[in-house]
Structure 1
Amino acid sequence: MRQVVISKAGSPDMLRVVDVPLPEPDPGSVRIKSAAIGVNFADLVGRLGLYPDSPKIPYVPGYEVAGTIDAVGSGVDASRLGEPVIALTRFNGYSEALCIPADQAIPRPAKMPVEQAGGFLVSYLTAYASLVVMAGIKPHDRVLIHAAAGGVGLAAVDLCRVYGATIYGTASPAKHDFLRARGVQFPIDYRHQDFEKEVARLSDGRGVQIALDPIGGRSWTKSYRALSPTGRLVINGVTSLTPRARRSLRALLRMALTTPWLRFTPVRLANDNKGVVGVNLGHLWDETALLREWVTQLLAWYDTGRIDIHVDRTFPLAEAAAAHRYLHERRNTGKVVLIP
C-alpha cells in the first residue's frame, strides 16, 4: 500500500510517497481502508518540524480518515467488516490503510459523503471543544472567529448558528460573500482592517463574549482586549508559525517576541473579569468516551441539517504536497481532503 511520509523537515517537497506492507490489526483493533483523509494545519506545522507532539521525522502525518473496515483483530466482532467509519488517528492518516483501536472507529452516517466524512472530525471537534465545552457559548453571544473561512473557522460558524450567536469573522475580502451566506453577520478584512477596532465599532464598544484565536502572538493580545467583561479567549492553534511553505526563523522569532507571556496572570484575569482557555485536540486522543459523546451531538446536528461540512477541494493522495501548498497560501475555504 502507499503512504505519504515526511522525509525531513522543510517545504512540501519533503513529502514522499512510499510503498509499505499492508498492516495487520492487533487484538482489539480494526484496519480501515481509507477513502478520504483530512488535511489540517497541524500537518503543515509538523512537516516544518515545529510541532512538539509529532513523532521523530520521518513519519506519516494525518489526524483523520474516513473509510471502510476491511480487517478486524481478535476480540473484535467480525460483523464490523465492511462497516463505513470515520476515525481520529494519532498520525499515520496519510495512508491507503491503517489500524486503530476498534472503539475509536465511529460508524459513518449513510447520508454523509465520504469527502465530508474525511474532513469532519478534527475541525468540528476542535470547534465544539472551543465553543461549547470551554467557552460555554449561549444564545445571542457575540463571537469573534479568526480564520473564519478555514476548516475550524467554518465549523465554529456552524455551531454559532446552532446557538443563535452573533458572528464576527476575520477573512480575506474575497471570502466575505461566502461567509455572509454561511451566517457571518460581520466579516472583517484582517489584511486591511484592525480587527480589534472593528469589533469595538461593530459592537458599539461592547466587545465579544468569546474569541477563538488560532493565530498566536500579538493576535492573542488583541483578541483578549476585544473581549467584554466575563469574556473568554480560546487559544486553539498557532497558524502564525506557518506564514509560508518553508520554515521561517523570522516567524518563530516574531511569535516568541509578541506572545503575551506575562499578560494572562491570575491577578490580571481576576481584575479584568476575563478568562483564557486552550484547546489541543491532539491531547484528547485517549478520551474516547468524551470524544464519542461530542461526536454523537455533532452527528445529530448534521442529521438535521444544522451543520454543513464544506469541502473546498480534494487532491489525490500522491499530490499531498500540492494540498499543503494550497493551505499554506490560505487559498482554501473550508476543508482540504486527500483521496487515496
Structure 2
Amino acid sequence: MKYKSVVLTKKGGPEVLQITENELCPPNNGEVQIKVLACGVGRTDIAMRYGYYPFAPKKPFVPGYQIVGIIEAIGTKVKQFKIGDRVASLTVYGGYSEYIYLEPQHLVKVPENVKSEEATLLILNYVTAYQMLKRVANVQKGDKILITGASGGVGTALLDLAKLEDLNVYALASKHKHETIEKMGAFPMDYNSTNWMKLIKTKELKGLDFVFDGIAKSYIDKGFSLLKKGGKLVEFGYPSFLGMLSSLFKIILLNSFPNGRNAEFYGISGAYKKDKSTILYDLEALLTLLKDKKIKPIISTRMPILEASEANKLLESGLVSGNIVLLASELL
C-alpha cells in the first residue's frame, strides 16, 4: 500500500513543496503508525521553507509542525496506546503527510467530543500562547497587555485565552481584521496608523503589564517603551534567521539597562527539547478547555493535506485571520 506526503525539496517559495509517494510499512517496535486527520499550517513552516529555522532537519523532509490523527498500527513495545486511539502530537516536522510514524512519548490522547481540526491548532499556537501567558508572564486578572500580530494563529490564541484570564487587551493588526479582534473582546488598533502608541500611552498612564510581540523588528523597541516598571515583553516572532538574531540582540541589549522592565524570547521548539512534560501537560489542559467549550480556535480555511503548497501560499499572502488547517479527505 502507498501513501503520499508533501516534501520540502529545497529552500524557496511554496512551489518547492512537492508531492511524493511512499510505501506504507509496519511501525518499528517502539513506534505507532498514525493516519493524519488534521495538520495546522503555521509561520514556522514558512521559516523552515526559507531555511532560517534552527530546528529544521536536513532537506529533503516533510514539513508540518502539529498533527491530530488516528492510530492504525502499533509496535510490539508500545503499551500505553491502542489501535483506534485519536492522538495529538507536536511533530515539528512530518505533518504534511497522509501517514506518520511517531514514538508514544510525543503523543496525547484527544477527547472524543473534540473536532480534529480544532484540536490540531492547540498543539503549537495555543500551547505557545498558553505558556507565554501562564508560565512566562504569569498574568493576573485585570492585567493590561498588548498583542502585536493579533490576527495570526498565535495572536488569536492569545486573544481567546486572554478572555479566560479577564485581561485588558490591546491588539495590533491590519484594519480589515479588526472586526474579528473586536468579537474576541480586545481593543483593535491599526499597525499602519501613526498614533497607536500615543493612544495606549493616553489610556494607560502607568504603562502596560505585558507585551506579546510576534512581529519583531521595530515593534520590540516600541512595545518595550510601553511597559510600566516591572513589566515584561515576550517575543515570539521568527521574521528571518537574521531577524531572529537581531531580536535576540535587542532583547539582550534591553535587559542590560536597569530600567525595571525586562524582555524574554519564547520558542516552543527549544522548550520542547528541554522539557516535553510541560508542553504535553499544557496541551492536555487546553484539550480539556476545548472539550468544555471554553475556547474556540478560529479556522479561516480548510484544505486537503496534499494542497500544502497552496496553503503556504495563502498564509504568506497575509490575508488570513486565524488559521489554515490541512485535512484528510473524510473531514472535508
- The alpha-carbon deviation at position 289 of structure 1 amounts to 2.0
Q: 1:18 aligns with which of 17, 20, 28?
A: 20
Structure 2 gap ranges (5+): none
Measure, in 1, the Cα distance between the counterparts of 2:149 and 2:69. 28
Distance 1:255 1:192 in 2: 27
- Structure-2 separation of matches of 1:79 and 1:259: 44
Cα distance in 1 between the residues matched to 2:171 and 2:49? 28
Cα gap change, 1:78 to 1:228, in 2 (>3 Å): closer
Aligned to 2:222: 222
> What letter is aligned with 1:228?
K
| Contact preservation (8 Å) 1:158, 1:307 | yes
| Equivalent residue number for residue 276 of structure 2 | 288
Contact residue 110 and residue 287 of structure 2 kept, 8 A: no
CA distance, structure 2, for counterparts of residue 135 and residue 5 of structure 1 = 37
Distance 1:101 1:202, change over 3 A: same
Deviation, 1:191, is 1.8
Deviation at 1:228, TM superposition (A): 1.0
Q: Which amino acid aligns with 1:263?
A: L
Deviations 1:139-187 (A, max 9, x none): 0000111111111111111111111000000111111111111111x10
Q: 2:111 pairs with 106, 109, 121, which one?
A: 109
Which structure 2 residues correspond to residues 36-55 of structure 1 after superposition, within 5 A? Answer: 36-55=38-57
Q: Distance in 1 between matches of 2:168 and 2:80?
A: 47
2:254 paired residue number: 264
Matched, 1:202 2:189: no
Confirm or deny that 1:233 pairs with 2:233.
Answer: yes
The residue that corresponds to 1:171 in the other structure is 173
Secondary structure at the counterpart of residue 35 of structure 1: strand
TM-score between both structures, scaled by the size of structure 1: 0.89
Q: Give yes or no for the alignment of 1:277 onto 2:264.
A: yes
* 3-state SS of 1:82 partner: coil
Q: Is the 8 A contact 2:216 2:247 kept in 1?
A: no
2:308 to 311, 320, 330: 320
Distance 1:139 1:102 in 2: 37
Q: Deviations over 1:197-244 (max 9, x none)?
A: 3321332x22211111121221111111111111111011223x3xxx
Which ranges of 4 or more aligned residues in structure 1 deviate by more than 3 Å?
Answer: 251-259
Write the letter of the residue equivalent to 2:218: R
User: 1 CA distance for matches of 2:219 and 2:194?
Assistant: 13
Residue aligned with 1:133, SS: helix
Note the C-alpha offset of 1:79. 6.0
Structure 1 gap segments, 5+ residues each = 242-250
TM-score, normalised to structure 2's length? 0.91
Contact 2:10–2:16 under 8 Å retained in 1: yes
1:253 and 1:102, CA in 2 relative to 1: closer, same or farther beyond 3 A? Answer: closer
User: Counterpart of 1:295 in structure 2: which amino acid?
Assistant: L
Could you say if the C-alpha distance between residues 60 and 254 of structure 1 is closer, same or farther in structure 2, counting changes exceeding 3 Å?
Answer: closer
Moved more, 96-105 or 76-85: 76-85
Matched residues in 2 for 1:222 and 1:173: separation? Answer: 19
Deviation at 1:262, TM superposition (A): 5.9
Tell me the alpha carbon deviations over residues 290-330 of structure 1, each in whole angstroms, 9 at most, x when there is no partner: 22221232223223322111111111122212111111111
CA distance in 1, matches of 2:99, 2:164: 35
Q: CA deviation at 1:87?
A: 1.1
**Inter-CA distance 257–52: structure 2 relative to 1 (3 Å threshold):** closer
Q: What is the identity, as a one-letter code, of the residue corresponding to 2:131?
A: A
Quote the offset at 1:100 in angstroms. 1.2
TM-superposed deviation, 1:101: 1.4
Q: 1:253 to 1:333 in 2, by over 3 A?
A: closer
- Indicate the residue corresponding to 1:245 in structure 2: none
CA distance in 2, matches of 1:88, 1:254: 22
Partner of 2:188: 187
Identity of aligned residues (%): 28
Contact 2:251 2:265 in 1 (8 A): no
**d(CA) in 1 for partners of 2:326 and 2:74?**
24
Higher mean displacement: 300-309 or 43-52: 300-309
CA distance 1:32–1:43, change in 2 (3 Å): same
The count of residues paired between Structure 1 and Structure 2 equals: 325
Alpha-carbon distance in structure 1 between the residues aligned to 2:53 and 2:196: 28
2:234, 2:266 within 8 Å by CA — same for their partners in 1?
A: yes
Counterpart residue identity of residue 208, structure 2 = V
Q: Report deviation, 1:284.
A: 2.7
Alignment partner of 2:139: what SS? Answer: coil
* Offset at residue 256 of structure 1 (A): 4.5
Contact 2:4 2:22 (8 Å CA) reproduced: yes
- Match of residue 335 from structure 1: 323
Asked if the contact 1:31–1:100 (Cα under 8 Å) also holds between the matched residues in 2, the reply is: yes
Q: Is the alpha carbon distance of 1:165 and 1:10 closer, same or farther for their aligned partners in structure 2, counting shifts above 3 Å?
A: same
Q: What is the CA RMSD across the aligned residues, in angstroms?
A: 2.2
Amino acid at match of 2:101: C
